[in-house]
Amino acid sequence: MEKNTDLIFAALFKLEEARQVIRDGLPSGLNQQEEMQLKEKISELKGIIQALETGTTGKKPGRIAGSIEVRTREEENINIQPIQAAGRLTLAARQAIIAYGDGYSTCDACRKPFRLDKISKPPIADFHTQLAQFVNMDQARVVPGARRGFQAVAQTVVEKGDSVIVSAFAHYTEFLAVEGAGGVVKEVPLNKDNIITADATAEKIEQVKLETGKLPTLVMIDHYDYQLANEHDVKGIAKVAHSYDIPFLYNGAYTVGVMPVDGKAVGADFVVGSGHKSMASPAPSGVLATTSEWADKVFRTTQMVGDVTKRKFGIKEVEMVGCTLMGSNLIAMMASFPEVKERTLHWDDEIKKINFFVDRLLTIDGSKVLSEYPRKHALTKVDTTGSFDRIAAIHKRRGFFLSDALSAKGIVGEFAGATRTWKLSTYGLSWEKVRYLADTFTEIAEHYELPITKQ
């Protein structure tokens, strides 16, 4: 029985390796013969995977159980879905999920003092130390999503009726975290370039003080927002917040795990990141890091005593509800971490790729970029109302024609039928795939005789 399980795991690991080879495509620098041989191997692998996953060699998607279909989106396509790009798992993370999928698998070696971040086998305690170093803060905890990081901070610093400064582009989870703590959000307006500035933040703080007679108790700003992925002046804003003695939460949902983040250099009291958005980790996962000054407050331990039993659970942290991210989500996050750390050093190349793509898109007459440009982030909002949407107006598939044309070329991730003003990301795609992506848009434009400016 033991042996069988080992064999099945070994087979699943191999399967994951094969999926990765397919997903990454061919390495560059191959000669013609090598390329041909590899292509044959990949097509063979695809057949084997399909047979294993579907139990058939037919075309229909297989089912894992009931109506849950096998998902091969990343292997079979170029996925430009804006929020999925940096959450794609590494091979190591996929294997971790298989090995640690059982419920409380991380608790095998949980010994006194009985807390997740203290477990040394697997090395969860070390991972916490590394996470804090990674964002240059003093302490870190894993959390089930960035939202739980906002929640922990809001519950620590916000009291009923307090104001919290957020961006006019703040994510809804920031609103909910503030509301849950009994606070009220106050939005800093954007400037004409859709940027939140330090001056505008100072003005908003003054306005709140004047209107409520009280300073806000938290400033929480996204380094890159989710709507346009524009960069906001987090360093300047942190300085303003501190000049009023207000703590600053740096929302790194779109930065931690894709680009270098230095919480101390920003002047952050709290750094929040999203594992499933930007750290090649499964959902939900995330990180909350803080300074020594704030750690005792946001990671306060319970004081509660049972009135009958007199039980106490002293070591457990209240805002973390004891232990946070258990099982495969945490181990997969840990498994991806070395690659995640490494990839942040290549952010410049990701920026070159998105700018290459956007430059090419803009050669198609009528296309616009709504995000700041040149791009500083791989996530980008474009407006194709004046280009591809002109075709949609006369095409029998109407607004779906662009998605049809893209998926016929193996490109997925845009919301079918919603491609007037829309978001995409080139994050993590190889240069070969980015060029293919740009060529495909050009080809579709040429096919429908949209004018193209020569570069």
Cβ distance to ligand PLP smaller for residue 151 or 197: 151
> What is the CA angle 71-75-79, rounded to 5?
85
Locate 154 and state its tokens: 């809001």
For the bound state, the minimum distance from the C-beta of residue 52 to ligand PLP, rounded and expressed in Å, comes to 32
- Residues in a beta bridge with 309: none
Contacts with ligand PLP in 265-294 (CB under 6 A)? 274, 276-277, 286
CB of 196 to ligand PLP, least distance (A): 12
Q: What distances in angstroms separate CA 274 from CA 265, 286, 321, 330, one per listed residue?
A: 20, 4, 19, 12
Neighbours of 426 (CB within 10 A): 27
Of the candidate residues 91, 97, 132, 146, the single one contacting ligand PLP (CB under 6 A): 146
Does the annotation flag 147 for ligand binding? yes
Residue with smaller CB distance to ligand PLP, 251 or 344: 251
Binding of residue 147 to ligand PLP (CB under 6 A): yes
Select 53 or 174, whichever has its Cβ closest to ligand PLP: 174
Tell me the C-alpha distance between 235 and 450, whole Å.
43
265 annotated to a ligand binding site: no
Q: Does position 381 bind ligand PLP by CB under 6 A?
A: no
Question: Does residue 425 bind ligand PLP (CB under 6 A)?
Answer: no
CA distance linking residue 443 with residue 405, whole number of Å: 10
Residue 191 is labelled as binding a ligand: no
**Which amino acid belongs to residue 360?**
R
- Is 251 annotated in some ligand binding site? yes
Q: What is the CA angle 131-134-138, rounded to 5?
A: 70
CA 82 from centroid of its chain's CA atoms: 9
Any binding-site annotation on 378?
Answer: no
Which is nearer to ligand PLP, 263 or 286 (by Cβ)? 286
Q: CB under 8 Å to 386, separation ≥6 — which residues?
A: 365, 366, 367, 368
Q: Name the residue nearer to ligand PLP (CB basis): 134 or 226.
A: 226
Instruction: Pick the closer one to ligand PLP by CB: 97 or 146.
Output: 146
Query: 384: Cβ–Cβ under 8 A, 6 or more apart, which residues?
Result: 361, 366, 367, 368, 402, 419, 420, 421, 422
The tokens of 104 are what?
């409380």
Tokens found for residue 383:
């407006």
Q: How far apart are CA 441 and CA 387, in angstroms?
A: 11
Q: Which is nearer to ligand PLP, 145 or 263 (CB)?
A: 145
Distance, in Å, from the CA atom of 57 to the CA atom of 53, rounded to the nearest integer, reads 9
The SS3 of residue 411 is strand
Distances (CA, A) of 330 to 20, 73, 122, 143, 213: 21, 23, 10, 9, 43
CB of 120 to ligand PLP, least distance (A): 27
**CB 305 → ligand PLP: shortest distance, Å?**
33
Q: How near is the Cβ of 329 to ligand PLP at its closest, in Å?
A: 12
Binding to ligand PLP, residues 216-255 (CB under 6 A): 222, 226, 251, 253-254
CB of 109 to ligand PLP, least distance (A): 28
Q: Which is nearer to ligand PLP, 288 or 406 (CB)?
A: 288
Kindly determine how many residues on this chain lie close enough to bind ligand PLP according to the rule CB under 6 A: 15
**Which residues are known binding-site members for pyridoxal 5'-phosphate?**
146-147, 251, 274-276
- Residues forming contacts to ligand PLP in the complex (CB under 6 A) are 83, 145-147, 171, 173, 222, 226, 251, 253-254, 274, 276-277, 286
